[in-house]
Amino acid sequence: MSRIGVFTCWCGENIARTVDVDEVAKRAAELPGVRCSLNYKYMCADPGQAIVREKIVSEKLDGVVVASCSPHMHLKTFRKAAQAAGLNPYLVEMANIREQCSWVHHDRAQATAKAIEIIRLAVEKARNDAALQPIRVPVTRRALVIGGGVAGIQAALDIADAGHEVVMVEREPSIGGKMAGLSETFPTLDCSQCILTPRMVEVGQHPRIKLYSYSEVEKVEGFVGNFKITIRQKARYVDISKCTGCGECWNICPLKRNLSEFDYGMGMRPAIYIPFPQAVPARPVIDKSQCAKLIRNGCGLCEKKCKAEAINFKDEDRFVEEAVGAVVVATGYKLYSIAKSQPKTTLSGYGEYGYGKYKDVIDSLQFERLVSASGPTGGVLKRPSDGAIPKSVVFISCVGSRDNAKGLPYCSKICCMYTAKHTMLYKHKVHDGQAHVFYMDIRAGGKGYEEFVRRAIEQDGAQYYRGRVSKITQEGGRLVVRGADTLAGMPVTIEADMVVLAAAMRPADGIEELAQKLNIGYDEFGFLLESHPKLRPVETNTAGIFIAGACHSPKDIPEAVAQASAAASKVQVMLAADELTREPEIAAINEQTCAACFTCVRTCPYHAIERAELRTPRGAFIKNTARVNPGLCMGCGTCVSVCPSKSADLLGFTDQQVYAEVESLA
């Protein structure tokens, strides 16, 4: 026999103004199974909760219905209250008579009648509730960080400093990401490497961080708290445990003229190389597509020169397994490809800017390398075609971004700021140079950002034109840039020595494959999807996997760092104990009636259902069955709807409960 308590809340005026709470409490008392019914002004407040607890004890209630706001607001509150009074928290139901009643209706009589019906449903559900226990999942108290850029570094250090082991996987030969290649950062104009490399060294030396550089995530198995990651360590052909980083090998390498990836093609590197002097680990790698020894068994000079005998031409990719409990994805970004050839058919390039045709039309990261003190020109701004110092540079914003016709409608957020920065860096190096910026809007919303842009214009003399560039051609040795200034309503033609294009930010290559391995969502542009854009910006819909940095959306360094720390704190919550608890409102399969058709296995979006076997205690095979993994199931109910034998059900929302609710209305 049920003993349900119904507690109707006034919610101040929010409910009581439209719903007659006295009438509701009176009618609720008459519902079958209801032991007591009352109303109170603020059920969620301390006194209100105290009433609930008191009634549970004094009336020996075996179920509670709180008729108030949405369960999103206060279900946890009332479950805690019930638990404190000794009642299983999953015997608490909420009847939403605010968002679904008092807030959307005006007629008092009708709203009151509807509130009573809503409560009737909730009471029927409560009568069919079963006590459930939270699911305990063991946790491997280690974390994986994918990506060694500034976001990955921040997350790894936060988690490792909190006392947990971190495995970091970075696919380039060194960590540091895009930030390691920048010259100076806005709005402080700090030298980028100067502020980053200490962090990089910390990661390299941290006792609790295991760094797999020049490696990629090959496979991901398992579930929250219990991931098994297979990592592919790509062949470096250098044994980094023996190598001392002395540099004899890359100095002696005769094949010196390969385009440097780190310099985005603005400089050269040998076939055996270290990407930049401050690399972590400071060990070289051999590019197997360029090394004479690896291609046709020639040369081999580096091996001969190496005193530490660290060169190993027989190296091969190796696979390693690591067990972790949580994953942070921080794979960063790459720039949109401006030229005609594109990685996707939904994108197109800008033929009119001459990128790829004219050597002195470059993109923003290439410009960073040309002005960087550690760059291919030693920080002297020499233009690529003839090494001349440009006296007139045009900077074009929104190349690829905000362009529906090219396939990327979004704003890349950082370009307005770094373009202003570029004009300042340019002016500081070329005192008699003139910077011209073609922009559509100026987005400078961060702390000190607007003032920074004004400095570029007012102190460093950058000339800004509000309008786009229609075409860039080459006449004589100069680049003729034809654009417009819509504020003055006139065309503007600039003869420039160099043009810098602020290309859009896109997620790094391979993001879609990685997301599929991790079973997390991504949008049409490849950016990883967060659980909730406002309230859950670092979690994904897959338990245990978090995201940080530019792989989520275009952002600057302060935001990437903040997001990384946020992700790290979520990981720390997860790794705080040896066990995780999960809500028990998950699917359960009646293994006796299950026909093992495995439709549910194929349909489950979280891959939470496994194929299992029922065996006798002695091990004899009885039958196949589907089995829900309580660590992964998110309680979406898809399996329940597809199961042909009705063997799958949702705990806390069973078929029986739902039918009971529906029938109670008849």
Partner 1 sequence: MHMDVAPNQVVRLVQLGEWEKALQSRAIWECVGCQTCSTRCPKEVDCAGVMDALREASLARGMAAADRYLVVAFQKIFLENIRRNGWLNELELIGQFKADVVLHTGRIPFLFKDAGLAPQLGKRKKLHLIPGKARDRGVVDRIFERCASERKA
Partner 2 sequence: MNIGYYPGCALHGSSNDYEQSLRACLSTLDVQLDEMKDWICCGATAAHSLNHKLSLALPARNLAVAERDGFKQLFAPCPLCSMQLLKAKKAVGDERVRKELSEIVEADVRGESEVLNLIQLFEKIGVERIKSAVKAPLKSITAACYYGCLLTRPPDVVHFDDFEQPTSMETLVAALGAKTVEWNYKTECCGAGMTMSNEQIVLELAHKILSNAAEHGANCLVVACPMCHVNLDMKQAAVERRFGKKLGMVVYYLSDLVGLALGLSAEQLGINRHFVTQA
**Where along the sequence are the contacts to partner 2 (CB under 8 A)?**
340, 350-352, 357, 473-475, 480
User: Under rule CB under 8 A, which residues in 462-481 are in contact with partner 1?
Assistant: 468, 470
Please check whether residue 400 is in contact with residue 336, taking contact to mean a CB–CB distance below 8 angstroms.
yes
The answer to the question of residue 58 lying near partner 1 (CB under 8 A) is no
CB of 468 to partner 2, least distance (A): 15
Total number of residues that touch partner 1 (CB under 8 A)? 14
The answer to the question of residue 295 lying near partner 1 (CB under 8 A) is no
Using the contact rule CB under 8 A, the part of the chain among 7-15, 400-408, 554-562, 639-647 near partner 1 is 400-408
Among 3, 141, 402, 607, binds partner 1 (CB under 8 A): 402
351 binds, among partner 1, partner 2, none (CB under 5 to 8 A by kind): partner 2
Please name the residue that has the structure tokens 């909420």: 94
Using the contact rule CB under 8 A, the part of the chain among 128-136, 308-316, 421-429, 488-496 near partner 1 is 488-496
User: Under rule CB under 8 A, which residues in 342-361 are in contact with partner 1?
Assistant: 352
497 binds, among partner 1, partner 2, none (CB under 5 to 8 A by kind): none
Of 241 and 404, CB closest to partner 1: 404
Query: What is the strand order of the sheet 92-96 is part of?
Result: 34-40, 4-9, 63-68, 92-96
CB of 596 to partner 2, least distance (A): 49
491 binds, among partner 2, partner 1, none (CB under 5 to 8 A by kind): partner 1
CA-based nearest residue to 94, from 55, 126, 117, 62? 126
d(CA 564, CA 157): 10
Please check whether residue 9 is in contact with residue 102, taking contact to mean a CB–CB distance below 8 angstroms.
no
The answer to the question of residue 490 lying near partner 1 (CB under 8 A) is yes
Please check whether residue 214 is in contact with residue 173, taking contact to mean a CB–CB distance below 8 angstroms.
yes
489 binds, among partner 1, partner 2, none (CB under 5 to 8 A by kind): partner 1
Of 14 and 474, CB closest to partner 2: 474
CB of 166 to partner 2, least distance (A): 48
The answer to the question of residue 241 lying near partner 1 (CB under 8 A) is no
The answer to the question of residue 619 lying near partner 1 (CB under 8 A) is no
Give the distance between the most distant pair of CA atoms in the chain: 95
In the chain, the amino acid numbered 147 is G
CB of 457 to partner 1, least distance (A): 23
Of 41 and 468, CB closest to partner 1: 468
The CA–CA distances, whole Å, from 559 to 199, 535, 538, 556, 565 equal 17, 16, 12, 6, 10
617 binds, among partner 2, partner 1, none (CB under 5 to 8 A by kind): none
User: Under rule CB under 8 A, which residues in 378-397 are in contact with partner 1?
Assistant: none
Pairing of strands 226-233, 215-223: antiparallel
CB of 404 to partner 2, least distance (A): 13
d(CA 94, CA 449): 47
346 binds, among partner 1, partner 2, none (CB under 5 to 8 A by kind): none
Of 475 and 663, CB closest to partner 2: 475
Q: What is the H or E stretch that residue 220 is in?
A: strand 215-223
d(CA 185, CA 226): 39
Of 268 and 480, CB closest to partner 2: 480
d(CA 397, CA 339): 16
205 binds, among partner 2, partner 1, none (CB under 5 to 8 A by kind): none
CB of 23 to partner 2, least distance (A): 57
Using the contact rule CB under 8 A, the part of the chain among 17-25, 474-482, 484-492, 497-505 near partner 1 is 484-492
Pairing of strands 490-496, 478-485: antiparallel
d(CA 83, CA 87): 5
The CA–CA distances, whole Å, from 342 to 129, 347, 403 equal 56, 6, 15
Using the contact rule CB under 8 A, the part of the chain among 46-54, 485-493, 548-556, 577-585 near partner 1 is 485-493
The answer to the question of residue 31 lying near partner 1 (CB under 8 A) is no
Of 242 and 471, CB closest to partner 2: 471
Among 184, 403, 539, 649, binds partner 1 (CB under 8 A): 403
| Cα angle for residues 344, 350, 352 (degrees, 5° grid) | 155
Among 188, 486, 493, 603, binds partner 1 (CB under 8 A): 486
Please check whether residue 283 is in contact with residue 315, taking contact to mean a CB–CB distance below 8 angstroms.
no
Question: Which residues does residue 172 pair with via DSSP β-bridges, in sequence order?
Answer: none
Of 119 and 396, CB closest to partner 2: 396
Of 442 and 650, CB closest to partner 1: 442
C-beta neighbour count of 247 within 10 angstroms = 12
CB of 405 to partner 1, least distance (A): 5
Cis peptide before 554 (omega within 30 of 0): no
Structure-block tokens of residue 205: 């030396």
Of 199 and 406, CB closest to partner 1: 406
473 binds, among partner 2, partner 1, none (CB under 5 to 8 A by kind): partner 2
3 binds, among partner 1, partner 2, none (CB under 5 to 8 A by kind): none
The answer to the question of residue 484 lying near partner 1 (CB under 8 A) is yes
d(CA 113, CA 468): 61
CB of 570 to partner 2, least distance (A): 46
Of 102 and 401, CB closest to partner 1: 401
DSSP-derived secondary structure for 311-354: B-TT---EEEEEEESEEEE---EEE---SS--SSTT----GGGT
Question: Which residues does residue 226 pair with via DSSP β-bridges, in sequence order?
Answer: 223
CA-based nearest residue to 28, from 137, 130, 120? 120
Using the contact rule CB under 8 A, the part of the chain among 22-30, 175-183, 310-318, 402-410 near partner 1 is 402-410
Please name the residue that has the structure tokens 């059920």: 43
Of 402 and 517, CB closest to partner 1: 402
340 binds, among partner 2, partner 1, none (CB under 5 to 8 A by kind): partner 2
Of 471 and 602, CB closest to partner 2: 471
The answer to the question of residue 487 lying near partner 1 (CB under 8 A) is no
Of 294 and 399, CB closest to partner 1: 399
Beta-carbon contacts of residue 347 (< 8 Å; ≥ 6 apart):
336, 337, 406, 407, 408
3-state secondary structure of 540: coil
The CA–CA distances, whole Å, from 24 to 8, 48, 59, 269, 664 equal 8, 17, 20, 79, 17
Query: What is the strand order of the sheet 215-223 is part of?
Result: 215-223, 226-233, 318-324
The answer to the question of residue 506 lying near partner 1 (CB under 8 A) is no
CB of 474 to partner 2, least distance (A): 7
CB of 342 to partner 2, least distance (A): 13
What are the residues binding partner 1 (CB under 8 A)?
A: 352, 398, 402-406, 468, 470, 484, 486, 489-491
